[in-house]
């Protein structure tokens, strides 16, 4: 069992030595900006997958990424069984087509074909960001999920039996991607932030402890950005019922760009919560709202 994660929290520029890339036109390459994948050089689809020296994933595998910000016209996705031979890309990928559809596609030696399509309506609608986009392949079955809910399936065929998980972008994007996670479909999912270990496997990752992601956190009194600040007390309320605490956490620290990620076993994916935080001496107070996701 093996998996690989990447939060992209490093200097702007190339993805780094853990990744390999290929493209459908020369020069298309995924890059990091402000601790997220949000820019691309070139003028085509850019495919990136974990290097074989870093991850030797099983044939049954998953690829998952958080869509941190979203522009409705953008195209992007996650891939499985990916490899980058000398001439062109091979993989299956779950794709947002920028035109109101989820797609399952394959690319064989750089030639792309469609396997299935699903309109982004009803239960398959695009949620507000941040949301999680996930592709699983088990045997010859592909399953695309949004926030843990299946929105599209297709037969994978027998084009590839190996390869590694990754992601795909298109050169016109302003959407940003974050928190990649990919590997064996049997890799156990582990809860974070002190809530204990989950017993679910990656194949049933809807049981992963949900998260609230607060971006660009600012102090409630001064409006000053709170980067790398630790809050000793955090309380989570249902936005629809502020009289009841849904959960409490202690000693959580924002990232260097003011992002605070909170996980708690009582959260329900898709539900809106109000969050308040403060230190014991009353300093560094904040109030925010966020929707729980399976990030």
Average pLDDT, integer, range 268-290: 82
Residues contacting residue 253 through CB under 8 Å, at least 6 positions apart: 228, 229, 230, 231, 260
Average pLDDT, integer, range 175-183: 93
Asked if pLDDT for residue 241 goes beyond 50, the answer is yes
Is pTM beyond 0.75? Reply is no
Asked if pLDDT for residue 73 goes beyond 80, the answer is yes
| Identity of the highest mean pLDDT range in 78-82, 202-206, 242-246 | 78-82
The band of 139, judged by pLDDT with boundaries at 50, 70 and 90, is very high
Provide the pLDDT for residue 199.
35
The band of 1, judged by pLDDT with boundaries at 50, 70 and 90, is very low
What are residue 184's DSSP bridge partners? Answer: 61
Pick from 188, 183, 142, 176: nearest CA to 67 = 176
DSSP 293: B
- Residue whose structure tokens are 């949301």: 131
* Rounded-to-integer distance, Cα 23 and Cα 163, Å: 16
Q: Is the dihedral of CA 160, 162, 166, 171 positive or negative?
A: negative
Query: What's the 3-state SS for 66-121?
Result: EEEECCCCCCEEEEEEEECCCCCCEEEEEEECCCCEEEEEEEECCEEEEEEEEECC
- Higher-pLDDT residue of 55 and 267 is 55
202 phi, psi to nearest 5 deg: -60, -25
Residues 77 and 86 sit within 8 Å (Cβ to Cβ): no
Provide the pLDDT for residue 41.
63
pLDDT in tens, 88-106: 788 999 999 989 999 999 9
* Rounded-to-integer distance, Cα 173 and Cα 69, Å: 11
CATH ID of 3-207, from 2.30.29.30, 2.60.40.10, 2.60.120.560, 1.10.357.10: 2.60.120.560
Mean pLDDT of the chain: 82
Say if 3-207 and 211-291 have the same CATH topology. Answer: no
Provide the pLDDT for residue 87.
60
CATH ID of 211-291, from 1.10.3470, 3.30.70, 2.60.40, 2.40.50: 2.60.40
Annotated domain spans of the chain: 3-207, 211-291
The band of 190, judged by pLDDT with boundaries at 50, 70 and 90, is very low
- Work out the angle at residue 114's Cα, subtended by the Cα atoms of residues 3 and 29, and round it to the nearest 5 degrees: 55
């Amino acid at each position: 069992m093996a998996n690989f994660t990447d939060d992209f929290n490093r200097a702007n520029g190339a993805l780094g030595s853990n990744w390999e890339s290929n493209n459908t036109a020369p020069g298309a390459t995924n890059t990091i900006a402000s601790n997220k994948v949000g820019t691309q050089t070139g003028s085509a689809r850019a495919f990136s997958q974990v290097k074989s020296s870093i991850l030797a994933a099983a044939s049954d595998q998953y690829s998952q990424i958080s869509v941190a910000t979203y522009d409705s016209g953008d195209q992007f996705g996650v891939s499985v069984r990916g490899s980058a031979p000398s001439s062109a890309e091979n993989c299956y990928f779950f794709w947002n087509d920028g035109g109101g559809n989820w797609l399952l596609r394959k690319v064989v030696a750089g030639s792309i074909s469609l396997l299935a399509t699903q309109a982004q309506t009803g239960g398959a609608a695009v949620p507000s960001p941040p949301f999680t986009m996930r592709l699983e392949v088990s045997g010859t079955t592909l399953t695309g999920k949004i926030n843990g809910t299946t929105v599209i399936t297709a037969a994978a065929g027998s084009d590839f039996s190996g390869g590694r998980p990754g992601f795909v972008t298109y050169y016109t994007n302003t959407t940003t991607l974050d928190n990649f996670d990919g590997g064996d479909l049997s890799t156990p999912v582990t809860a974070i932030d002190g809530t204990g270990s989950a017993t679910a496997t990656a194949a049933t990752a809807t049981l992963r402890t949900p998260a609230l992601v607060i971006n660009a956190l600012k102090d409630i009194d001064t409006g000053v950005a709170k980067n790398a600040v630790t809050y000793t007390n955090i309380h989570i309320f249902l936005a629809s019922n502020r009289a009841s605490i849904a959960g409490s956490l202690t000693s959580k620290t924002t990232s260097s760009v003011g992002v605070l990620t909170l996980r708690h076993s009582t959260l329900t994916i898709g539900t809106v919560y109000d969050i308040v935080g403060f230190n014991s001496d009353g300093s560094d107070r904040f109030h925010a709202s966020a929707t729980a996701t399976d990030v």
